[in-house]
Amino acid sequence: MLENTASSPKYDVFIVHSSEDAAKARIFNQALNDMGLVAFDNINEGPAFVIGRPVFDNIIHAVKHSKLVLILITKHAISSHWVTLETLVALEKSDRENVLCVRLVFEGVSEMERQNFKRGILTSIPDIIVDFNKDKWKDEFVAIIKENIPVQKLLPAGNVAHGLVFNYFIGYLAYVLPAMSKTVEKIEYFTPDKFSKKFFVVMPESCEVKPLEGKYKNFLIEKMEGSLEMDVTHGDKQRKYTLTVYKITKENEFYYFCADCPFIIATMLKMKEMGFADIDVHFQGVRFYMTLKELVEHRSNPDYKDTTNFIMFDGSAQSSSPALEIWQSLKKEFSTNEDHETTVVTRNGVAVESYPSLTVSVINSTDGDIVAEEVIQFLTMHGMNFTSGGAAKKSSDTDDICIRWKIFILTDTSTKDKVMELEFNAALSESISKNQIQVIPILVKGVDIETIPYGFKWTTVLKQEDPLYLEKMWKTLHEDRHMEELQHAGSLFEGLAYSYMLNYMSFNLVGKTGDGRDFTERFVDAVKKYKVNCKIVPKVYVIVPSSCEFPPPGTQFEKEEHLGPVEPIVQGFRKYFLQLYVLTISRPGKWKDVKVCYAREYATPAIALRDMTRLPFAGLSVKDMKKQAKQFADFSNEITQHDIFNREIGDVKDKCSILYFEDDKHGMAAVTELLEEQIIQCLEKRLFVEPPNIESTF
């Protein structure tokens, strides 16, 4: 076996494969057993993924508890987003543990398909092409499994996508989503049957952000005149969020919707193009999309339930468009159930959430009835007695089982039925509140999991086509599993720093006003406007407290006076403001009572770090938050001094400093001391400007 210690994961290998490749996975599983290795996908131990737990959580659990992750790439798996996610999560584990714990196994794909898959960070991962018709394939397979390979900094940009997701969610979606459904009714052309109350997050897999409007084959997407606006406070800043309204038309039919293509994902493309990091945009793009979707729809975020439609499309080709996916989502939202005769669940006769026993729920259909009968007969043989309604009676040896489990038979009919969907959601809600898995979905043979709604699709299901599905169901009934699996937050600070410097601060540092005034000239004009007699240090000081907690807007430090905003830089619909302050330096000697103007603000990415510690899904501890806040400050300062940044963005070396301080130890007074030290350095280096008509005293 692979080297094992008391703290080692339970499994040697986690076999990642698409559902269509289960038979092939069993062949590799047997080969691993012959080597004496324990595989997470071992059929003798039941299903690899916990039934009833969301797939995303199962992936995190499987990678965390396995030493090696084996990615089986076939024609079925080569374009799977789940396989992409599992690969990246395994790479993040490698980066944390400094041991390459990923192997790629190609079977039944062409050399061109293999080369297309092995790009970016995947080029350094060992791989093997397996041909089951060759006698020595097992020997080659064993060799690559046993090879011990140290990691070679697979992720030079850190866990970029993960940090960007939380920055985007906490700084934007967390405000927009709860308010949109109420705000949208204020639009003059709002009608309940044509204007979606759901917010569309539209993301190109290529991370190349382009305008959404345009003519695409049968569809026309137009950007409307009216927009939705909302004022919020984020950190120490007042922000106005503007939601763009679109109209999509096909022939004589049309709908309205609000959408955003997260500009923050362009950070990853910009990093690669500028040469900051050899980032794999494809992998990080998919990671961003899937993590954001899981976060918004996570059970710990009930305020965001059913608020968002997520659309991902290629985005690399000129003609690539999300129009069809947007149209289909809108059609589904506004379609009625008139063409489908809703049948009340007949197996249990009462709502799932109120019946204190094991229940089997199915909508009347031939296939569903057959599977329901199989399940009931199997459970009856194991000591459970059912009423005619399909509810199990309590008995001495099945009391614990009966009071907990709800079994849902999923057919093409049942997954479209509103009653079944409500009952399924109610059962899941009960599971969430108890943090205990108690729902078992069973997918009837022949039903395509890709065609069923999200709530069913991304919850791990049993499949009737699996010959052992009844045995696996019975095993699940006797397990005590929790709903969620925390993922490791990884290195967030790099992605947060890149985003902050590339997508926000760079505009303020090198941007010009409409009439061409640069960074320094904006400061001089502001001093004239506020009529202050002081020296000007044209620099932005960004405050990063170790607690990542910000005081209320308008809070001033000791010996500091707030003057007001500097003229903003306008980029598209967004304005980039700086706030001007005056500090009275009281050091002995020539720095006695010297007044200096400067700009300062709190680093809003610190809000993302703070809020992540409060979200169960994020996997960030308070201790790690403080560590990454310091790393964010240090790395942001590195970026401002980096030759590539100054060459590609513009000269910013003396225009910005990120100041980290331990407010939990030294209090807010420590900021004044830091500011004084930084400003005095600028004065001594003569990095200041005299206001008009004021003579220098140096």
Per-residue pLDDT tens digits for 635-659: 999 999 998 889 888 899 999 999 9
Q: Are strands 574-586 and 592-602 parallel, antiparallel or unpaired?
A: antiparallel
SS3 call for 388: coil
Contacts of 436 by beta carbon, 8 Å cutoff, 6+ apart: 404, 480, 481, 482, 483
> Does the pLDDT of residue 177 top 60, yes or no?
yes
For the segment 168-174, the average pLDDT, to the nearest whole number, is 86
Average pLDDT over residues 18-42: 80
Structure confidence at residue 346 (pLDDT): 35
Query: Per mean pLDDT, which range of 113-122, 460-469, 561-570 is the poorest?
Result: 113-122
Report how far apart, in Å, the C-alpha atoms of 389 and of each of 345, 347, 352, 407, 474 are.
Answer: 10, 5, 12, 13, 21
Residues 6 or more apart whose CB falls under 8 angstroms from that of 125 comprise 91, 100, 102, 103, 104, 118, 154
Residue 479: pLDDT band (50, 70, 90) is confident
| Whole-number Å distance between alpha carbons of 125 and 116 | 14
d(CA 268, CA 490): 17
Q: Look at 272 and 681; give whichever has higher pLDDT.
A: 681
Between helix 469-477 and helix 366-381 the angle, nearest 10°, is: 60
Band (pLDDT 50/70/90 cuts) for residue 388 is: very low
- CA torsion sign, 18 to 21 to 23 to 24? negative
Higher pLDDT, 155 or 478: 478
Q: In the numeric block, which tokens belong to residue 16?
A: 């990642």
Q: Supply 257's token pair.
A: 């919707």
Q: CA–CA distance from 104 to each of 138, 284, 286 (Å)?
A: 15, 18, 19
State pTM to two decimals.
Answer: 0.63
Residue 61 confidence class, pLDDT cut points 50, 70, 90: confident
Give the tens place of pLDDT for each residue, 394-436: 333 344 444 567 888 888 888 877 677 777 777 776 675 566 7
pLDDT at 496 over 70: yes
pLDDT for res 278:
64
- Using an 8 Å Cβ cutoff, are 398 and 353 in contact? no
Confidence of residue 45 (pLDDT cuts 50, 70, 90): very low
Residue 567 pLDDT greater than 50, yes or no: yes
Q: What is the C-alpha to C-alpha distance for residues 447 and 159, in angstroms, rounded to an integer?
A: 36
**What is the predicted pLDDT for the residue at 222?**
93
User: What pLDDT sits at residue 163?
Assistant: 80
Q: What is the pLDDT of residue 450?
A: 67
CA distance 598 to 517: 17
> Any idea what DSSP says for residue 99?
B
**What is the pLDDT at residue 241?**
73
Tell me the average pLDDT across 554-569.
87
Backbone angles phi, psi at 241, to 5 degrees: -95, 130
Q: What pLDDT sits at residue 6?
A: 35
Taking the C-alpha atoms of residue 692 and residue 306, their distance in angstroms, rounded to an integer, is 57
- What are 586-596's pLDDT values in tens digits? 777 777 888 99
Q: Span 510-523, mean pLDDT?
A: 92
How does the average pLDDT of the chain come out, rounded? 78
Q: Is the pLDDT score of 696 beyond 60? A: no
Q: Which of 244-253, 502-511, 548-557 has the lowest mean pLDDT?
A: 548-557
CB 48 within 8 A of CB 62: yes
Least confident of 53-62, 342-351, 456-465, 652-661: 342-351
Best CA proximity match to 244, nearest among 493, 698, 572: 572
- pLDDT above 70: residue 350: no
Question: What band does 390 get if pLDDT is binned at 50, 70 and 90?
Answer: very low
The answer to whether 674 touches 557, Cβ cutoff 8 Å, is no
Torsion of CA 684, 689, 693, 698, to 10 degrees: 10
Q: What is the pLDDT of residue 657?
A: 95
Under the banding of pLDDT at 50, 70 and 90, the label for residue 151 is low
Read off the amino acid at residue 472. K
Compute the average pLDDT of residues 135-150.
78
Least reliable range by pLDDT among 20-24, 25-29, 360-364: 360-364
Question: pLDDT value at position 43?
Answer: 41
**Euclidean distance between CA atoms 262 and 245, whole angstroms:** 15
List, for residues 258-284, the tens digit of each pLDDT value: 999 998 888 888 887 887 766 777 777
Q: Mean pLDDT lowest for which of 205-214, 328-337, 340-349, 549-558?
A: 340-349
Task: State how far the Cα of 460 lies from the Cα of 673, in Å rounded to an integer.
Answer: 55
Edge-to-edge, what's the strand order for the sheet holding 574-586?
560-571, 574-586, 592-602, 535-545, 656-661
Alpha carbons 529 and 565: distance in angstroms, whole number: 10
Cβ atoms of 55 and 449 within 8 Å: the answer is no
Average pLDDT over residues 455-468: 79
**pLDDT value of position 554:** 72
Domains annotated for the chain, with CATH where assigned, are 11-146 (3.40.50.10140), 160-334 (3.40.50.12100), 352-477 (3.40.50.10140), 493-684 (3.40.50.12100)
Please determine, for residue 374, whether its predicted confidence score (pLDDT) is greater than 80.
yes
State the DSSP code for 354: G
Rounded Cα distance, 359 and 44, in Å: 27
pLDDT of residue 485: 55
Dist CA 159 CA 509 (whole Å) = 26
User: Looking at residue 504, what is its pLDDT?
Assistant: 87
User: Per residue in 76-101, pLDDT tens?
Assistant: 887 776 677 677 677 767 766 767 78
Q: Which of 316-320, 327-331, 597-601 has the lowest mean pLDDT?
A: 316-320
